[in-house]
Amino acid sequence: MVIKSLAGVAKEALRSPETLEYPEEREAVADNYRGIHKLDMKTCISCAACARICPNQTINMVEVNTERGKKEMPEINFERCLFCALCEEVCPTACLVLTKDYNFEKFDRREFINRPEDLK
């Protein structure tokens, strides 16, 4: 019984790994996919409509230094985001849009909070 078990372990240890390598090419996403937000800081008018409409209170308005002085712009916590696109719909200047990017791997939870400068 013990010999049979050890033989099975040895057989499995000598087998080649079955894990696939990460593909170099990204797969295409569906047309209705909603990914990471993109912010055009030049057209943002600091109306905070996106922060008010967010059902999960994911968006906070933070002060940012721009060419024209200080402005309040959206800071997004992707850890809490539902990707419902209400912020995109309510934006009067269409400066906040959801892209097709799905690069969400992070090593620290604090990296999910993206300041306006990071949303380019």
Residue 2 lies in a domain: no
Q: How many domains does the chain have?
A: 1
User: Is 54 inside a domain boundary?
Assistant: yes
More confident residue, 17 or 120: 120
Reference 58, options 30, 40, 26, 36; nearest CA is: 36
Using the predicted structure, report yes or no on whether residue 87 has a pLDDT greater than 80: yes
Q: pLDDT by residue (tens digit) across 34-47?
A: 989 999 999 999 99
Backbone angles phi, psi at 116, to 5 degrees: -55, -35
Q: Which residue would you say has higher pLDDT here, 13 or 50? A: 50
* Residue 25, domain member (yes or no): no
Confidence of residue 56 (pLDDT cuts 50, 70, 90): very high
Six token digits for residue 108: 């620290």
Q: Is residue 10 part of a domain?
A: no
Q: What is the pLDDT of residues 60-70, one digit of tens each?
A: 999 998 888 89
CATH number at residue 42: 3.30.70.3270
20 belongs to a structural domain: no
Count of alpha carbons within 13 angstroms of residue 73, beta-carbon side: 22
Range of the domain at 77: 30-118
For the cut 70, the answer to whether the pLDDT of residue 20 exceeds it is no
pLDDT at 88 over 80: yes
Question: What average pLDDT does the structure give for the chain?
Answer: 88
